[in-house]
Amino acid sequence: MLKVENLMVFYENALAINELSIHVEEGEIVGIIGSNSAGKTTLVNTLSGLLLDTQLKEKRKGGERITIFGRITFLGKDITNLWADERVKMGIVLSRERHPVFVESDVEENLKIAAYITTKKEMKENIAFVYKVFPSLVPLRKRKAGFLSGGEQQMLAIGMSLMAKPRLLLLDEPLLGLSPTIQVKLIESIVQIRKDANVTILICEQFARPVLPIIDKGYVLENGMLTLEGTGKELYNNPEIKAAYFGV
């Protein structure tokens, strides 16, 4: 479904992603594991096309120079130079880190705002699915998003991504800042999304312990470079992973 070949990303002369190659098969949950500044956010911003938008904005204002090399293909089509909105129409949807929501709008208004590329019928069906995956949002549907807890905002942010009917859902640090209990609930919801909506998922996360048991395969990034790869089980049992991410 998704193939990344020899991806390199520079911010000025700083190398953020270095000769990275990964692949995601349809129906998989794939994990990108790495600490802060490993290159995870740069990767998903590149895959979603957001980095092209940032590159253009920086060029217009004479700011930071961003350079991208390599090749990205999705469903057999080269999308390396495709803008973010076109990638969304193809089914690549990003749920960004730190749950960006419209704080002055209520939960259901946020979901409707995110449904701009779908029909009214699809919007209603998608809202029903979001409430099925995140039932705790149902009694909060008329509450302003700014008054939700961090976990509730994260559920809403992922729900907003689902409103675009993704084929490939990119999740950037979905567990960041959440309690262990909420992390478990969110992981269960991610598994349900794959199962019930047949969505392929790429999840970037530094909290490896709850993620590794649910992924089909994973890649470990350090300083923008691929250092390890394997199945979720292989990585979970790897002594290097346990020492670096489990503290054992």
50-76 pLDDT, tens per residue? 999 999 999 999 988 999 999 999 999
3-state secondary structure of 143: coil
Give the whole-angstrom CA distance, residue 53 versus residue 58. 9
23 token code pair: 């692949």
The C-alpha atoms of residue 83 and residue 126 are separated, in whole angstroms, by 25
CATH class of the domain comprising 2-246: alpha beta
Compare 189 and 246 and report the one with higher pLDDT: 189
pLDDT tens, residue by residue, 96-131: 987 789 999 999 999 999 998 889 999 999 999 999
Q: Closest by alpha carbon to 169, among 150, 151, 193, 137?
A: 193
| Domain coordinates in residue numbering, the chain | 2-246
Task: Indicate the pTM of the whole model.
Answer: 0.94
Cβ neighbours around 69 below 10 Å, total? 12
